[in-house]
């Protein structure tokens, strides 16, 4: 069974259980793998390589939000200049690929256009099993790129194929997406503060 498993008569009770499920999901994040992802992203940005990110639906919104927070926020008050592309952001490109080729290639096709060895792909997928996500990870692996997969449920094929799998223990799409959004923010804010002067950290809002 997945949350919710019953009918709720008050939103307060639903909120309490939702927040409890979210806390459990967030607490399940493997911090060693989180550190590996942070190191990989830091190295990627320091070397001037590109981070590509993609997702479907709500995960596409997280991917586009990531572009903002990584490309803008990480470099604020630091010497880091992240290069980030959201493969979910260009509606014209996505629909052209979907119409002329197939939707399952909408991310891998874009990667094949500009991706280079040493770049990194980050995928965001609650199921970890969306075909366009899986194909993007496979392309990255076959072409000298590392990959970071944010997954939920049982992790799907993404969990097995990615260089680093950041899995959250959740069985509700909203809770998984909330946890993925938190991972996105944790990585961004950690990398930012790691390259800031201590006195500046105290003065800034994150």
Residue 166: per-residue pLDDT? 98
Domain count, the chain: 1
**Residue 205, pLDDT above cutoff 90:** no
58 in any annotated domain: yes
Confidence of residue 25 (pLDDT cuts 50, 70, 90): very high
Burial class (CB in 10 A: 0-12, 13-18, 19+), 2: exposed
Q: Do the domain assignments include residue 138?
A: yes
Residue 16 domain-assigned? no
Question: Is 76 a domain residue?
Answer: yes
201 pLDDT more than 80 = yes
Give me the chain's average pLDDT, please.
97
Does 91 map to a domain?
A: yes
Average pLDDT of the segment spanning 67-72: 95
Q: Report yes or no on 51 lying in a domain.
A: yes
CB atoms within 10 A of CB 25: 23
11 within domain boundaries: no
Q: Are 154 and 176 in contact (CB under 8 A)?
A: no
Query: Which pLDDT belongs to residue 1?
Result: 66
As given in the structure block, the two tokens for residue 113 are: 């256009």
How far is the C-alpha of 14 from the C-alpha of 183, rounded, in Å? 24
Residue 72: give its domain's CATH number. Answer: 3.40.50.10490
Mean pLDDT to the nearest integer, 52-59: 98
The reply to whether 23 falls in a domain is: no
Match 């993609």 to its residue by tokens: 54
Range of the domain at 165: 31-203
């Amino acid at each position: 069974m997945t949350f919710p498993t019953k009918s709720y008569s008050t939103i307060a009770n639903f909120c309490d259980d939702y927040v409890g499920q979210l806390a459990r999901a967030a607490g399940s994040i493997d911090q060693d793998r989180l550190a590996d992802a942070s190191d990989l992203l830091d190295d990627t940005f320091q070397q001037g390589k590109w981070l590509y990110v993609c997702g479907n639906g709500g995960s596409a919104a997280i991917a586009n939000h990531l572009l903002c927070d990584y490309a803008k926020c990480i470099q604020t008050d630091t010497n880091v200049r992240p290069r980030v592309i959201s493969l979910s952001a260009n509606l014209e490109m996505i629909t052209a690929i979907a119409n002329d080729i197939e939707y399952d290639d909408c991310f891998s096709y874009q990667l094949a256009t500009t991706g280079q060895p040493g770049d990194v792909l980050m995928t965001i997928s609650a199921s970890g099993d969306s075909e366009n996500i899986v194909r993007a990870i496979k392309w990255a692996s076959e072409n000298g790129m590392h990959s970071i997969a944010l997954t939920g449920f049982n992790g799907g094929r993404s969990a097995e194929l990615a260089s680093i799998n950041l899995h959250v223990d959740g069985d509700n799409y909203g809770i998984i997406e909330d946890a993925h959004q938190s991972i996105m923010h944790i990585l961004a804010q950690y990398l930012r503060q790691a390259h800031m002067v201590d006195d500046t950290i105290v003065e800034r809002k994150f």
